[in-house]
Amino acid sequence: MHNLLELPHAELLARAAARRDAAFGNRVTYSPKVFIPLTMLCSDRCGYCTFAQPPARLEHPYLGLDEVLKLARAGAEAGCHEALFTLGERPELRYPAARDWLDTNGYESTVHYVVDAANAVLEETGLLPHANAGALFPEELLALRRVSPSQGMMIESLNGGLEAHRGSPDKVPTRRLATLEWAGELAIPFTTGILVGIGESRSDRVDALVAIAESHRRHGHVQEVIVQNFLPKHGTAMWRSDPCPDDAYTEAIALARLILPDDVAVQAPPNLSDEFGHLLAAGVSDWGGVSPVTADHVNPERPWPDLDRLTEVTEAAGFTLAPRLTVHPAWAAEPLRWLDPKLRFAVMDRSDAEFLARDDPGSVFPERIKERAAAQVADGAEVELIGIDSSQWYSGVPVEPPVLVPAFSGGSRRLQGAVDEVLTAFEAGEDLDEDRIVTLFGARGPEVGEIAEAADRLRSEVVGDDVTYVVNRNINYTNVCTFKCRFCGFSKGPLSLNLRGTPYLLTLDDIAERAAEGWARGATEVTLQGGIHPNFDGDYYLDVTRAVKEAVPEMHIHGFTALEVTEGAGRLGEDLEKYLGRLVDAGLASLPGTAAEVLDDEVRAELCPDKINTEEWLEAHRVAHRVGLRSNVTIMFGSIEQPRHWARHLIRTRDLQAETGGFTEFVPLPFVHMASPIYLQRKARRGPTWREVVLMHAVGRLAFRGYIDNIQASWVKLGLGGARQLLQAGVNDLGGTLMDENISRAAGADHGTLATADDFAALVEPLGRPLCQRSTLYGRVDHSPHEVQPTVGAART
C-alpha cells in the first residue's frame, strides 16, 4: 500500500473518487445528531485537545441524567436520530472529583455511567446512542453494546512516539488496536479513524489505515473511518503548530478510500474545513454527525454547517445527501448479527426501507399506546397514542407531508449518476427492469423531483389532465377472520393479535340495505371486503353478490380479494375458474387487488404466513381476467420490506398484465402502523417516508408504461393534501369516496371514512385540472350519477 504514496496527487484523488463512486454511487450520507458531552474530564493529556478540562473549570464532573435527557429531547424535537456520547477517557483514574461523583451516584466507573445514561436516552427519547468512550475492555464494550447500537474510538495514529500523545496512557497504539479487535469479535458496528497532521509521517497514515482495513477484513465491523485534519487551538501544547496542509489532508482521505474495503465509508468532518466541498473529490462518502442543536464540543470554535448549506455544497458537486442512523445500512440490515435484541426495534423504528434514517422533517419519539375504552372503538380504532407525539408525517396521521413535488419548473435535467442513467434509458423507450426500478426507489434530493416530473409528463401523455374518482359505498361485512395477517388491525377472532374490539357479521339484509343506501347517495359501485369468517363456505360470497344485485340491479359490484375467492372455491372443493364464473353470473363485476400486500414470498412469510402466496394471488387474478372480470394491482408498502421487493412486485404484476390486460389501475397502499399488530409487537417500521410514497406512485407510473394507464392515490391513508402532491407525480385518480371504510381506521388512520365530490374538487382546483366522476372501469359518469358511459381505455395489452 505504501506504493500509493508514489502516485501524483491528482491521480491519487481521481482513483479514490472513482473507487467511491463505484461503491457508493452519488450518495453522500450524514448523521443528524445531538452532542452529549457526558464528562470533560480525562486521564489523557493530548497536546491538541481543548475538550478535556480540569475539575476546577467545570461546574460538575459529569452531566446529570436530567441534563442528559434535556439535551436528548431537544435533539429528538429537532429531528435528530443520534445521541453522540463523547467524554474523556477514565477520568476517575486521574481526578478524585470524578471518583467521588461516581461513588456518590452509585457507579463503578465512567463507562458504567455511560451505559446508564445511554439507556435512559434510548428509552425516553428513542434517539440511538453512539458511545465514544475511548479504549475499552471487552466487558465494557459488551455492556455498551446492549444500549448503544454503535460505538467508536479513533485510532488517530500507530506511531507510539508522537509528542502529541505524551502523557496519554490510553493513546498507546497496542491499546487502541486491542479495542478495535475486541469490538470486531463482539460484533459491534464500529467507527474509527485517523488524525492527520499531529506529527505523524505519510507512511504512518498508511500503516494505521492498513491496520484498520485488516481488522475489518477479519470481523466486518468497521462502518466508517474518519479522516480528521489537525487544527491548532489556543490553550493547548500544540497551539503554535501548523494546521494540517490541505494537500496532506486530501491525500490522507484518498489513501483511506483506496486502502479500506469498499463497504467502509470514508468520513470527513465538514466543519473543520472552511470550504469542504472539494473533499468529495478525494473520495469522501460521509460527512459524519452534524448537529442542529449542539456545538461540536471537541472543536467548539468550528460551528457545524446548517443542513441547507450541507445540502447545497453536496448537490453542487453532483451528489445527493441522505441522513443515516448511527448504524450504517449494511449493518442495520443484519440485526441478528450486529444488534443486541433490545436495540433491533429502536433501529428499525427510525429506518427507511434502505436502512437509512427517516428523512421527513419533524420529531421522532417512541410511540406508546393504550387501549381505548369499549365505548370508543365503534370507528374501529382500538388504541390511541399517549406520551410525546412525534411531529413527522406518517401514513394515516393528520399531519401535512413535506412538499417534495412539484420540485422544478421545467428545464433540462441536471442530475448525474445512476438515476439519471435510468431516466435517460427510459426516455429512449426502454422498459424498467428490476435493477433499474430499485435504482429509482433509491432516489434522493433533486432526483425525486426529476422522477416525479417524468412520471407526470407520462401521465399527461397517456390519460390527459382529467382527475377521476368513483362514488362508492364500502361494505366491510365482517371483521372476524381465521387468518392471522400480522399487519391487520381490523380482523377479530379467538387468535386475533389485536388488543380489543367487538367481532361482528352483517346479515345479508344489512348488506343489501347498505348497498341501497349507497345507490341513493349517488354511488355507482359497492366495494365488498371482509375477514374470512370460519363459518363461511364458498356459497356465502355468491349469496352476498346476489343480495346486492337484487337490491340494486345497476350497481357495479367490486368485491372479494384473491384470498376470499381462492378460499371460497377451496371450501367448496370447486375449480377456481368455475367458481369465479358462478360469481360473474351472480353479478360480480370486478375484483379488488387487495390481499397482495407485497408479492414476494420472502416478505409474505413474515407478514401473512398462512395467506395465499405470490403465485396463488397472481393465478387468482389471471383466472379472474380469463372469465371476464377486471381487477387492480395494489401494494402495501412500508412495513418490513425493501425496494428490491417493491421492484419484484411491479415486475410480476406487469408481466401478468402483459399476458391478460385485465388490470385497470395501480393503487399503492402505505402501511398504517399505529394499531397494527406487527408494529405493536415491535417488528415493523412506521410505514413509508413521504419520499418513498412519492416514489412508489411515480415509479409505478414509469414501470407500468404501456401496461396500466391509471395510477391511484389512496387519500384515506395519505390525506387530501398528500394526494394533491401525488397528482403532480404521475397520479390521475383519487379512488373512491369510500363511505364507511373501516380497515384503515382500525390500523390507526385518522383521515376519516368519507370524502365527497366537493372535497375532491377543492383538492384539484389549485392544480387547474378537470375533476371527473368515473365508473369502476373508467367510463365517464355524466349529469345523473346512474347513467354510465361505456368503458374507455382502462388498460393496454
Q: Is the pLDDT of residue 673 over 50?
A: yes
**259: Cβ–Cβ under 8 A, 6 or more apart, which residues?**
1, 4, 206, 209, 210, 213
Banded model confidence at residue 786, pLDDT cuts 50, 70, 90: low
pLDDT, residue 502, reads 73
Q: In what order do the strands lie in the sheet with 733-736?
A: 733-736, 467-470, 771-773
Q: What percentage of residues in the chain have a pLDDT greater than 90?
A: 79
Angstrom distance (rounded) from CA 720 to CA 749? 13
| DSSP letter, residue 317 | T
Banded model confidence at residue 676, pLDDT cuts 50, 70, 90: confident
Least confident of 43-57, 111-125, 418-432, 618-632: 43-57
Mean pLDDT of 400-425: 80
* 45-72 per-position pLDDT tens digit: 998 988 889 999 999 999 999 999 999 9
CB 663 within 8 A of CB 657: yes
* 177-193 per-position pLDDT tens digit: 999 999 999 999 999 99
pLDDT, residue 742, reads 47
Closest CA to 621 of 593, 586, 588: 593
* 309-336 per-position pLDDT tens digit: 999 999 999 999 999 999 999 999 999 9
CB 532 within 8 A of CB 563: yes
pLDDT, residue 1, reads 81
* 144-160 per-position pLDDT tens digit: 999 999 999 999 999 99
Closest CA to 394 of 67, 670, 731: 670
Banded model confidence at residue 494, pLDDT cuts 50, 70, 90: very low
pLDDT, residue 338, reads 98
Of 738 and 341, more confident = 341
Compute the half-sphere exposure of residue 89: CA atoms within 13 Å on the CB side of its CA: 21
pLDDT, residue 751, reads 46
Q: Is the pLDDT of residue 375 over 50?
A: no
pLDDT, residue 737, reads 86
* 510-557 per-position pLDDT tens digit: 999 999 999 999 999 999 988 888 888 889 999 999 999 999 999 999
Mean pLDDT of 475-503: 66
Q: Is the pLDDT of residue 658 over 70?
A: yes
Q: Is the pLDDT of residue 342 over 90?
A: yes
* 693-751 per-position pLDDT tens digit: 999 999 999 999 999 999 999 998 898 899 999 999 999 999 998 765 444 444 444 54
Compute the half-sphere exposure of residue 358: CA atoms within 13 Å on the CB side of its CA: 32
Angstrom distance (rounded) from CA 484 to CA 567? 14
pLDDT, residue 215, reads 98
Q: 650 is written with which cell numbers?
A: 411491479
CB 184 within 8 A of CB 190: yes
Angstrom distance (rounded) from CA 745 to CA 169? 60
Buried b (16+ CB within 10 A) or exposed e, 130-150: bbbbbbbeeebbebbbebbbb
The amino acid that residue 747 corresponds to is A
Average pLDDT along the chain: 91
* 222-241 per-position pLDDT tens digit: 999 999 999 998 888 899 99
State phi, psi for 592 to the nearest 5 degrees.
Answer: -75, 155
Write out the H or E segment, with its range, that includes residue 511. Answer: helix 508-520
Compute the half-sphere exposure of residue 305: CA atoms within 13 Å on the CB side of its CA: 21
CB 517 within 8 A of CB 474: no
Closest CA to 656 of 700, 709, 704: 704
State phi, psi for 315 to the nearest 5 degrees.
Answer: -70, -30
